[in-house]
Amino acid sequence: MEITIEENGVVVLLDSTPPPEVHETGRAAAAGCPAAAIRARG
């Protein structure tokens, strides 16, 4: 897992190989975030 803070203050949390059991939860969190602060890629 990698955590970085971009110049604009956005925190980026990367896990290049999240376990399959968390995929749907991550997508749901991204879709339901009212501030669009969560993005799921891949």
Per-residue pLDDT of the chain (42 residues; tens, 9 = 90+): 787 888 988 778 788 788 899 888 888 888 988 888 888 877
Does residue 11 contact residue 5 with C-beta atoms inside 8 Å? yes
Q: Tell me, what's the pLDDT at 41?
A: 77
Q: Tell me, what's the pLDDT at 6?
A: 87
Tell whether pTM > 0.85: no
Domain boundaries, the chain: 2-32
CA nearest to 40, candidates 27, 24, 23? 27
Q: Tell me, what's the pLDDT at 16?
A: 74
Q: Tell me, what's the pLDDT at 22?
A: 86
